[in-house]
Amino acid sequence: MIDTHIHADSRSSEDFEQMFISGIETAVTCSYYPYKLNNEEVLLNHLERILYYDTKRASKYGLDLKVALGIHPTNLIKKPEIIFDKLHECLEKNQIIAIGEIGLENLSSDEIAIFKEQLKIADEAKTKVIIHTPRKNKLDVLKIIKNIVLENIDPNLAIIDHINSAVIEEIIDEKFTIGITVQPEKMDKEEAIAIFEKYGYDKFILNSDISNMPSDPLSVPKTIAEMKKLGISLNRINKIAFKNAKKAFKI
Ligand SMILES: [Zn+2]
**pTM > 0.95: yes or no:** yes
Q: Please give the tally of structural domains in the chain.
A: 1
Burial zone of 5 (CB within 10 Å; 0-12 exposed, 13-18 middle, 19+ buried)? buried
CATH of residue 177's domain is 3.20.20.140
pLDDT of residue 186: 87
Distance 123 CA to ligand 1 centre (A): 21
Residue range 229-249, pLDDT digits in tens: 999 999 999 999 999 999 999
**Euclidean distance between CA atoms 140 and 194, whole angstroms:** 23
Helices then strands, each counted (H, E), the chain: 10, 8
Cα 231 to the chain's mean position, in Å?
28
pLDDT of residue 201: 98
Distance 133 CA to ligand 1 centre (A): 9
**Residue 182, CA distances (Å) to 2, 42, 57 in order:** 13, 30, 24
Cα 50 to the chain's mean position, in Å?
14
Is residue 127 classed as helix, strand or coil in its secondary structure?
coil
- Residue 66: count of CB within 10 angstroms of its CB: 17
Distance 7 CA to ligand 1 centre (A): 6
- Residue 61: count of CB within 10 angstroms of its CB: 15
Please report which helix (H) or strand (E) contains residue 66, including its range: strand 64-69
The domain in which residue 117 lies consists of 2-249
Distance 206 CA to ligand 1 centre (A): 13
Residue range 12-53, pLDDT digits in tens: 999 999 999 999 999 999 999 999 999 999 999 999 999 999
Judged by phi (left if over 0) then psi (alpha if -120 to 50, else beta), residue 137 lies in left
Identify the bridge partners of residue 28 per DSSP, sorted by sequence position: 66
Distance 93 CA to ligand 1 centre (A): 24
Burial zone of 234 (CB within 10 Å; 0-12 exposed, 13-18 middle, 19+ buried)? exposed
**Residue 20, CA distances (Å) to 65, 89, 217 in order:** 11, 30, 10
Distance 181 CA to ligand 1 centre (A): 9
Give ∠ CA 239-174-80 in degrees, rounded to 5.
95
Mean pLDDT by 10 residues, the chain (251 residues): 98 98 98 95 98 98 98 96 98 98 96 98 98 95 98 98 98 98 94 98 98 96 98 98 98 95
Distance 6 CA to ligand 1 centre (A): 6
